[in-house]
A and B are shown apart, each in its own frame.
Chain A
Amino acid sequence: MIIRRATLIILLAAVVASAQVSVDRVTKSASEPGNWLTYSGNYNGNRYSTLTQITPDNVKNLDLQWVLQVQQRGNSDKWEASPLVVDGVLYTVRPPNDVVAVDAVTGRLFWSYNHNPAQAARVCCGRVNRGLAILGNTLFMGTIDGRLLAINARTGALLWNVPVGAPEAGYSVTVAPLVVKDKVVVGPAGGEYGIRGFIAAYSPTDGKELWRFNTVPSPGDPGSETWKGDAWKTGGGPIWTTGSYDPDLNLMYWGIGNPGPDWNGDGRPGDNLYTDSVVALDPDTGKLKWHYQFTPHDEFDFDATQTPVLADIAWQGSPRKVMLWANRNGMWYVLDRATGQFLSGKPFTRVNWLDGFEPNGRPKKVLEPTAEGTLVYPNNQGATNWYPPSYSPRTGLFYIPSWTDTSSLYRKNPGNPPAYTEGGQFTGIFPTVTFGSDSVPALAAAATNNRFSAGTAGAVQAFDPKTGERKWTFPMNDVTDAGVLTTSTNVLFSGGREGYFYALDARDGKLLWKTQLGGQIANGPITYMVNGRQYVTVAGGNAMFVFALKQ
């Protein structure tokens, strides 16, 4: 008995000791491939792992190890969280805001913390959460009722709970926080409720707000000239996808969502900075260093809420620190991430809303909503969205989960923008999703699919950022909300709305392995290693599935 108790103490001590995640460990997370310490696995946002056990030759031997189910009855919200793994413990969020710590080998529960969102919570597009951040022994989670929580990673006890934005006014937090140095950074979603967005840093010890960058500037501040009247007060600019960070440049990058109202910009003339933009911020102060706006004066809901992917490549023969960005507006970009200089912008699907770029990278917009309706490619859900892409330094390819050949019909009452009411939807006329003669359910998973084959589909596409060339396409029958994971052994994992979780050869897109999870995949896969064994995990439907090679 004494021996058992001693063993137990030693085991617990091992878990407790290993749960410490220092700033240094987070900063160097790419050098710990056995763990997954941030939303994207590292600060580069490339969702790329250097684990080597699973290869193109043996991936067919993957075997299901364990499954984690949603516990809330009747919950049908998408499981969008990307887990963290720290020294054998996996942390994730079951929708909407239930945090769990489980043994990463067996799936058995250490603890759970269930946050019950306030009744005032309102979200446009599902009661979802995209994951956690960790620093020291503390986990951080945003909630759909607009709060930021700190939870003890050892015990699951709540440490603090602070407001980020008022839920009754449409503020929610669905993004996985980003820890940079001694700060926890998040921003609110709510672009369909007329919020005024921001990115804010909080103290990890007590949740005190340390700085705030308004994604819609105040009158007199730089960028305010792109707004007229009081439109800035309800200008949108939400945050709902985690940013990236370059420690060498000490720059943090965040993508910003749509202006409000979404589909009628007549009440907000101007470019409406910094909506639909990427901003580079000093993480110590929140000061803006540069910005690039992908879609000025957006009336198509083309949020720039995608993961900024940082890559060091040879650009026109010279080494360059770039940012790769696959945008909801159907274009993928190469930017200089030190300066924000526009280097390249190319379509990855059918696009008709612009006709090239000015020399400074400003798109030449050619379409706007009209009373009779304007057909715009890509569709309102976008050619891609928040689900993460991947970049493999091994192949040098940028992998984009995408919707191909989709369109929406945008209508507005010219000169009559919608009126704002606190907490009410502030959007304009919802676009008609039109895919030829077909219709594809915009957000819900399709139970069955007997549509015609009209070219509308999902795909993983691989591009060479150095040349802009499309290297290969893996087509899917249905559209996809699944992210992409790549490894240094040239294995690519992804999935889709159909519920398949599959592995491709990252070099040529050939199918290597697949399995059916029985529910749509709406998150990015991750991989980790415990006791010398590599695991790969993804959530499908209302459960999370973990695979490893057969032993």
Chain B
Amino acid sequence: MTGEYRIYQVITKANVTARGTLLNQDTFSVQMRDNNDKLMSFWKQDLKEYGFLPSPMPSYRSVLTPQEIADVVSYLVSLRSN
């Protein structure tokens, strides 16, 4: 799953939390768009936590066998237009 489909969260040292889409990151900073489409930028040194949250989609790891998952993926791929 690419980053644009995952939820990114930062928590500042002042305990302000922001969630949204990670747009960019580098060694020292993070740029994101929050759930209200507000563009935000942070220095990592000002953050207590930052990273992707677990996907809200439930895992099928224990529901489907590996072969069943492969079958689903194969079916979904077959839906692509040529």
Contacts and interface: CB of A to CB of B under 8 A. Distances in A.
B4 A450 contact: yes
A231 B78 CA distance: 44
B24 interface: yes
Contacts of A498: 26-27
B28 interface: yes
Contacts of B21: 450
B27 A450 contact: no
Given A451-B3, A452-B52, A475 B27 contact: yes
A450 B23 contact: yes
- The binding surface of chain B is classed by DSSP as strand
Contact of A450 (B3, B28, B51): B3
Interface string B1-23: 01110000000000000000111
A496 B28 CA distance: 12
B24 A450 contact: yes
Contacts of B52: 452
Contacts of A496: 27
Interface residues on A, range: 10 to 19
Contacts of B3: 450-452
Interface residues on B, range: 10 to 19
Interface in A5-21: none
A477 B26 contact: yes
A450 B29 CA distance: 12
A266 interface: no
Contacts of B28: 500, 514
A455 B51 CA distance: 14
B50 to A, nearest CB: 10
Interface string A499-535: 0100000000000001000000000000000000000
Interface in A181-202: none
A467 interface: no
B23 A448 contact: yes
Interface string A443-456: 00000111111000
A6 B25 CA distance: 57
Contact of A449 (B2, B4, B24, B51): B24
Interface in A465-519: 475-478, 496, 498, 500, 514
Interface of A: 448-453, 475-478, 496, 498, 500, 514
Given A450-B23, A450-B25, A452-B52, 4 more contacts: A449-B24, A453-B51, A476-B26, A500-B26
The 10 closest A-B pairs by CB, nearest first: A450-B3, A448-B24, A498-B26, A450-B22, A477-B27, A476-B27, A477-B26, A449-B25, A449-B24, A477-B25
